[in-house]
Structure formats: structure tokens, C-alpha cells
Structure 1
Amino acid sequence: MTFESKIQISKDELAHLGAGQVGYIRKMTSDEVQEQFPGVPKMESGIDLWALFNADGTPLFLSDDPSTAYVKAAEDEISPVSVH
């Protein structure tokens, strides 16, 4: 038995899929943060940080403690998913 399903979704719809409900937490160095997010205040080089991102990649929160990032996700009712 074969099922074919053709669901069409626009790039814009795909980009916003899960926004506000799903996010991911990623370990980054302070150097990576400074490079990728120029608006972030200057910080010491080589610090390990944890960033919470919205499903569309928008940064939401930054911490030096991974558990704090997970707590923030829970407070904002965002379900973090694993990203490899």
C-alpha cells in the first residue's frame, strides 16, 4: 500500500513553523556570539554561553548556564528540541 501526500508550504510558512512554541538551545562561545550578533555588548573572549533561539533562528536569550536557558524556555512556554 502506497500513500502519497502532497502538502505545499511556502518558504515563509516554513520559516515561521513552530515560532513562539518551539525553539532550540545551543552552546556557543562569546566569540561566536560577538561575530553573529553584533548588537550584543562587548564581552570577554572564550566564554562558553548557552543561547535560546526561536524556531526561526531568532535569538531570544543568552546565559552562561545551560539550565538557566532551559528555565527561560519553560517560562516562555517554548519546547526546546535537540539540534545536532
Structure 2
Amino acid sequence: MILTGRLADGANGCRAVKRNGGRVLVQDPATAEASSMPAHAIATGCVDFVLPPDRLASAVLALTTAPGGAELLTVPVPPWACLN
């Protein structure tokens, strides 16, 4: 999960999560006090959900408690994904 912040180090985290088959949730940059970190994360193309802060927790809860939730949390890495 990438929240408000500066610089682009969150983008590296997104790539690492995707490289290992995980899901990436990012705060909507329009709601962030400092939007560059969420924006850089989104620019990687590795983001699954972009949500306002008040919806992030419920999204994680839904992904982890839904029937088959474990399968919802892991995804195959698409061959086109920029993961370097």
C-alpha cells in the first residue's frame, strides 16, 4: 500500500510486490497531501487499486476475507510489466 509521500521510492516497492505476485493499493493522488509518491507508483503500471484513504482499509479487508481471498491477493505477473 502506497500512501502520501514525496519522491519515487514507492515505485520500487510496487515493482517488488508485483515481482512476487502481490497486489498493490495506492492512495488516490488527488487526496494526498504530497502526491508524488502515489503518482510515481501509478506510473509504473503495477497498481491494482487507486482509492481514497477512507476506502483503502475496507479494500484490504475485502481482499483478505472474501471467499478465495488468498487467490485475490496474488496475481500472475504479466510479461509486459516493467519490473526492473
TM-score (norm 1): 0.29
Q: In proportion to residue count, which structure has more strand?
A: 1
TM-score (norm 2): 0.29
Q: In proportion to residue count, which structure has more helix?
A: 2
Structure with higher Rg: it is 1
